[in-house]
Chains A and B, each alone.
Chain A
Amino acid sequence: MDDQERADAFYAHVMGGGKVEADDWMPDDYRAAVLKFVEMHANSELMGVLPEREWILRAPTLKRKLALTSKVQDEVGHAQLLYRVAEDLGKPREQMLADLMAGKTKFHNVFHYPTRSWGDVGIIAWLVDAAAIVSQQALRDSSYAPYARTMKKICWEESVHIMHGRDVVLTLMNGTSRQREMVQEALDRWWGPLMQMHGPPTDPATDRDLIWKIKAKGNEQLRQEFLSIYVPRIWELGLTVPDAGLGYDEVEGRWHYTEPDWAELRNVVTGHGPMSQERLEFRRTNHAATQWVRDAVLGAPSAAA
């Protein structure tokens, strides 16, 4: 069998619902596509803790502080699990971290924005994690089996984060009018990035990640699922979604909304968001400050020896 036949057989396998393990033969295109996808996901988990980390010391009660600390720990754990999956595909972890810090690789748009209030912490844990879990649940069906397995554990933990976030939001909504305003202001700030998060609709006929079943659902389908579950839950609290064009079309069976700002999405994920550089700088500083730990664990020769 020549390489082309082998690749054809491989793609027939994954397109027919077959799974791929780390040590299976796979075409370079597929390997590169899975690596890119998982690496971006790992980067997002790692960078995603920074907006919330800023609020650990400002959490209003001890219980909230424990829950937020635990969530941050979970997310870093997700990054670790995903870098494991990615490094098995051939790219060393140190290289992935170096590329992230150099701005060569990306992380999700929502982690490029500031967290201005405790209301933001609630909205992030509830709705950003909810938008993420919609796509992560679909990834449990990924053709790349180590990724699909990892996603089962991650989804369980994400469901805890969503409950924590919804609990924070509900507590504020039962509080003073200033606390209620704080939630509405946070929702106003986050709605745009949330609507951009799944990305512009792609053509299923040309989206390779979809064709090879690396991901199981398209961007627009994920956004529609997110809206179907969460918009009613937002409305029932008396909150206003800041989009006059938002509504469910019974006839078409889908949500209409004002076109998200795709230029903002492109701009933000290429490192031009309001907090992009500050967050990357934090990572670089942190990476340098913890170098001695890696040296000690990995046994790099000491300079003093």
Chain B
Amino acid sequence: MIHSGNVRAPDEELAMHYAREFYGRRQESHRLWVVARDAITELDDPDLLNPPFDRSFKRPGGYLIKHKLEAAKARANAPAGTEGSE
């Protein structure tokens, strides 16, 4: 489901026809959901949506494993008994 775009129409029926012409003319859509703009509840508060704290742990890129992986592989391949003591 993606937002295809918007149309300007005087009523629901015409909005549907316009939507079909704009976004369903080339068989690119399986179905269209048309909603009046004033029926949409919007949240655009950046303090809520993009708070200024470090949230990198919520993203795959927040974990930098390259060096850890190299170190762990090197240790796995080291002959037994060559590990440092604790």
Contacts and interface: CB of A to CB of B under 8 A. Distances in A.
B59 A238 contact: no
A167 B63 contact: yes
A138 B69 CA distance: 28
A166 to B, nearest CB: 6
Contact of A173 (B62, B72, B86): B72
Contacts of A19: 30
Contacts of B75: 173-174, 238
B76 A237 contact: yes
A21 B31 CA distance: 10
Interface string A56-91: 000000010011001000000000000000000000
Contacts, number: 53
A159 B30 CA distance: 29
Interface string B54-72: 0001111011010011011
Give chain A's interface secondary structure class. helix
B4 to A, nearest CB: 15
A166 B65 contact: yes
Given A21-B31, A238-B76, 12 more contacts: A70-B57, A70-B58, A160-B58, A160-B59, A166-B63, A167-B68, A171-B68, A174-B68, A178-B86, A236-B69, A236-B73, A237-B73
13 contacts: A70-B58, A163-B65, A166-B65, A167-B68, A170-B72, A174-B68, A174-B75, A176-B86, A236-B72, A236-B73, A237-B73, A238-B72, A238-B76
